[in-house]
Amino acid sequence: MGRRRKGLAVSGWINLDKPYDLGSTSAVSRVRRLFEAQKAGHAGTLDPLATGILPIALGEATKTVPYLVDADKAYRFTIAWGRTTATHDREGATLAESDVRPTVAQVAAALPRFVGEIDQVPPSFSAIKVDGERAYDLARAGEAVELASRKVIVHSARVVEGPDADHVTLEIECGKGTYVRAIVRDLAELLGACGHVSALRRTRVGRFTEANSVTLELLEDLGYEARQSEALLPVETALDDIPVLAVTDEDAFRLKQGRSIVLVPRQVELVKAGLKPGSRTVSAMAGERVVALCEMRAGRLEPSRVFNL
């Protein structure tokens, strides 16, 4: 007989507005304790020095984390000119200094070079693994870290403001795997300047935005009043880009048992119209409840992830 999980069987998403100087893992632990949840996870690490959107999955929502990790993201960040650091943020050791101060116009003119599919070398202080070790652990130990360039997508980039000669604030929308610190590193090099990230905020992850986010303080206040569930978003919130197919209670029962169901031609056409190129994934819904994530094959839905809700 399997060991029974401790905690409550609570499921859903918390769109946390992560505060400054708190790691992603610590943020997940605090939210999990507030809800006394059996399990929890997050979709996309946010550095301790960054603030903003950190979607946290509780219970059955953890099964949808991989789909949100792939979602587009948006960031607002400030570059401080004059100093290049080892970590490309304000906490790193100084590697070089310069009196060059690019103007807002110069930055704006350079940004198109960083839009579209671009080649980007991740920062050595990153969570990427090298021979089984995290790159940042190797870098902190003083080892030279060489990471391979990879393709990333930046959908848009714009200058928000230049409050003074030493700073400029930008916003970008990008695909997964894009490092803001690498953009700042490469932009500074292109402009012949030294610079680093002095402030960073993630403003969106898929459907998770600042508008529907909550703070730890608000969650704690709701906890005192036993109203935490008011902050819970549905499990399917992370499945925004996946087509939905309504199924009967009978078909839902079959899917939850791990058995496939046969689709009628009209359902097949409906699903095909919503699928992204190369994707077969469909979200099966019974009323307002997500039943399973399925793969459509030869006119059938085969469950790949079943939700116990």
In this predicted structure, what is the pLDDT of residue 230?
A: 86
Sorted by where each starts, the structural domains of the chain and their CATH numbers stand as: 12-67+208-237 (3.30.2350.10), 73-205 (3.30.2350.10), 242-306 (2.30.130.10)
CA atoms within 13 A on the CB side of 270: 13
CA–CA dist 204, 17 (Å, integer): 10
In degrees and rounded to multiples of 5, residue 118 shows phi and psi of -125, 160
In this predicted structure, what is the pLDDT of residue 233?
A: 93
CA–CA dist 60, 234 (Å, integer): 10
Question: In the predicted model, is pLDDT for residue 242 greater than 50?
Answer: yes
Catalytic residue among 17, 47, 186, 251: 47
Q: State the burial class of residue 134 (Cβ atoms within 10 Å of its Cβ: 0-12, 13-18, 19+).
A: middle
Can you tell me which residue has the tokens 């610590």? 26
In degrees and rounded to multiples of 5, residue 89 shows phi and psi of -130, 180
Per-residue pLDDT tens over the stretch 172-182: 999 998 999 99
Non-local (6+) Cβ contacts of 141 within 8 A are none
CA–CA dist 205, 179 (Å, integer): 14
How far CA 85 is from CA of 107, 165, 195, in Å, comes to: 20, 19, 8
Can you tell me which residue has the tokens 């039943």? 291
In this predicted structure, what is the pLDDT of residue 1?
A: 44
Q: Tell me, yes or no, if 166 is annotated catalytic.
A: no
CA–CA dist 231, 208 (Å, integer): 13
What type of residue sits at position 300? R
Question: In the predicted model, is pLDDT for residue 6 greater than 60?
Answer: yes
In this predicted structure, what is the pLDDT of residue 47?
A: 85
Helices (H), the chain: 24-35, 65-69, 104-110, 135-140, 180-190, 216-224, 249-256, 265-274
How far CA 16 is from CA of 54, 69, 120, 179, 186, in Å, comes to: 5, 15, 28, 21, 30
Give pTM, 2 decimals.
0.88
- Look at residue 24 and give its three-state secondary structure: helix
Can you tell me which residue has the tokens 């949808």? 64
Per-residue pLDDT tens over the stretch 167-213: 999 999 999 989 999 999 999 999 999 999 999 999 999 999 999 99
Among 17-31, 57-71, 222-236, the minimum mean pLDDT is found in: 222-236
Non-local (6+) Cβ contacts of 130 within 8 A are 138, 145, 147
Per-residue pLDDT tens over the stretch 252-278: 999 999 999 888 888 878 777 777 777
